[in-house]
Structure 1
Amino acid sequence: MQATTLVPRTADLFDQGLERQAGSALLRFGAARHRPTGRISWSGDGAAAWLDEARGHVWSVGSPTAAAGLVLRAAHQLPDIVREFTAPRGTDALVGRHLAVTDVVEWVFRWTLEEPPVHPAEERVVELDGADHEELLAFLTRHSPAHSTGPGSADVGLWAGIRGADGPLVACGALSSLRDSGAPLMASVATDADRRGQGLGAALTSWLTRHAVRRHGFCTLWQLADNSPAERLYTRLGYRNEDPCVAARIATP
């Protein structure tokens, strides 16, 4: 594998038909088919990659070897911009032969085209609005301090929650969006630590999935690879498990 410094070029991510192959759902759902103005991307040799320039993040799909080649190309072409990447599992080790890689986290990108079975507690789910943001932030800070998305995020189109009999939130979650394509992404689902195991998270997740599928035809989410309870829940809800990924940072010299 060689990383050759070339002038950055914008490639057609869809010219290889990768989006139709198993393991490439991140391309199918995560990259806009009609190329956004200014998107920098690369493709070839059974892989495709595109840059979220604001974050310095390269997204890639395909075989680990080919994906690693594109990540390396991006890092060498744009060394002052590219700081991190998400790619097929195993790409981190290949990139690590050439660049210092840190903060490796294994994920699964999951998706469904189907509405899940109705959960009995879905009737308790309510939509939340700006007036609830302060409460949402306090709830997430207490019960899910590593949440990926917070109230007020520009990427979030909907917050939903379940309230206890006395009024305060006991569960919450959001429908955010993947930045390049705008595809619905379920995020920051959290349950009161004292009420876990009561099906609140399952009800909220089912409701959010149904909401997204009815409006967009599908829903996506990120699941940590070692989160067994979440894996069982998402499998019950019909989410496909075909896209193991790894995320990592490229250490600056």
Structure 2
Amino acid sequence: MIIETQALHDRATILAAAGGHPFVRHSLSPGTPARGWQRDGAVLWLLPPERGFGADAVGPAGPVLDLCATLVAEGLLRPENRLHLPRFDPALAVGRVAVAQYVDWDFHWTTVAPPEQPDEQRVVRLTDADRPALEDLVDEAFPTTTTRPGDPTVVDWYGIRSGDRVVACGADRSRGDVGFLAGLTVAPDQRGRGLGAALTAGMTRALLSRHDTVALGVYPDNVGAVRLYRRLGFTNTLHRTGIRLGSERQGPLPKGGRAGAESGRRPKAR
């Protein structure tokens, strides 16, 4: 049973327990009611209702999974809930929690402006008039993304136009007090021209004018994107494992299982 001395009752105490980590700052918005727990260096907090049911965590994977198991036993976490946890081998979940889906990803962040890129001046904030062209680009270039026009979690869309086309786009999904880039993509016939670098640099510079930290998520085997982001200053990394809880009958995935990863062309960012 979770004891009171392990409880964290608001965003400030959760942030303090996690050392003010940017991942926590991004996960929990200022002023949002929050509830968390700490144990043996692990810090875990429930997601607010508007984020869906689930939890995020930082710290050593073993104690985090122990906390997850306790919250499942208490009924505070249930099958189908989604969690973003420290990177762990699926075997570590055996005997602790049942995992129905499992995928590794990395949270990268920067606090410094990127080097200026050729064509960066072409990056603009898109308007409602651009929506048809934006939808065409996303459908063609990144059909598997969950970040789409009309998504209420998107603050703004940025892009690069060529005539009546939008040939590169990205979403500002900033949350909390951390800027966040998502859904970055370039039209297939425009790749290899540096537009991805221009888009990422331009958006990062724009978000740094409003936030002291800008972050993004990427799959670790997307080595080209990782190399680009590091070149643009995203050199801080937190290794993550995203899971969907299963029932006890399902049990954990075998080692190396990656159910839940997006299929098709590898995205540049989550």
TM-score, normalised with respect to structure 1: 0.85
Which residue pairs with 2:257 in the alignment?
none
Q: CA deviation at 1:68?
A: 1.2
- Asked whether 1:186 is paired with 2:181, we answer yes
- Asked whether 1:208 is paired with 2:209, we answer no
1:50-129 alignment to 2 at 5 Å? 50-52=45-47, 53=49, 54-77=51-74, 78-80=76-78, 83-90=81-88, 92-129=90-127
Maintained 8 Å contact 1:5/1:76: no
Rate the CA distance shift 1:128–1:96 in 2: closer, same or farther, 3 A: farther
| 1:215 alignment partner, SS class | coil
- Asked whether 1:162 is paired with 2:157, we answer no
| 2:32 equivalent among 20, 23, 36 | 36
Q: More deviation in 237-246 or 145-154? A: 145-154
Maintained 8 Å contact 2:26/2:174: no
Counterparts of 2:160 and 2:69, CA distance in 1: 45
Counterparts of 2:150 and 2:55, CA distance in 1: 25
Rate the CA distance shift 1:151–1:141 in 2: closer, same or farther, 3 A: same
| 2:214 equivalent among 196, 219, 234 | 219
Q: CA deviation at 1:29?
A: 4.0
| 2:96 alignment partner, SS class | coil
Counterparts of 1:64 and 1:88, CA distance in 2: 6
What letter corresponds to residue 163 of structure 1 in structure 2?
R
Q: CA deviation at 1:97?
A: 2.9
Counterparts of 2:177 and 2:151, CA distance in 1: 14
Cα deviation 1:50-91 (Å, max 9, x = unaligned): 122442221000011121122222322224476121111116
Cα deviation 1:186-245 (Å, max 9, x = unaligned): 001110012211111110000000011122122111011111011000000111243111
Counterparts of 1:128 and 1:94, CA distance in 2: 45
Rate the CA distance shift 1:15–1:93 in 2: closer, same or farther, 3 A: farther
What letter corresponds to residue 71 of structure 1 in structure 2?
C
- Asked whether 1:251 is paired with 2:246, we answer yes
| 1:90 alignment partner, SS class | coil
Give the RMSD, CA atoms, in angstroms. Answer: 2.4
What letter corresponds to residue 15 of structure 2 in structure 1?
F
Rate the CA distance shift 1:80–1:244 in 2: closer, same or farther, 3 A: closer
Counterparts of 2:245 and 2:223, CA distance in 1: 28
What percent identity do the matched residue pairs reach?
31
Which residue pairs with 2:263 in the alignment?
none
Maintained 8 Å contact 2:154/2:173: yes
- Structure 1 residue ranges without an equivalent (≥5): none
Which residue pairs with 2:148 in the alignment?
150
Counterparts of 1:233 and 1:47, CA distance in 2: 31
Aligned length: 241
- Structure 2 residue ranges without an equivalent (≥5): 249-270
Q: CA deviation at 1:251?
A: 1.2
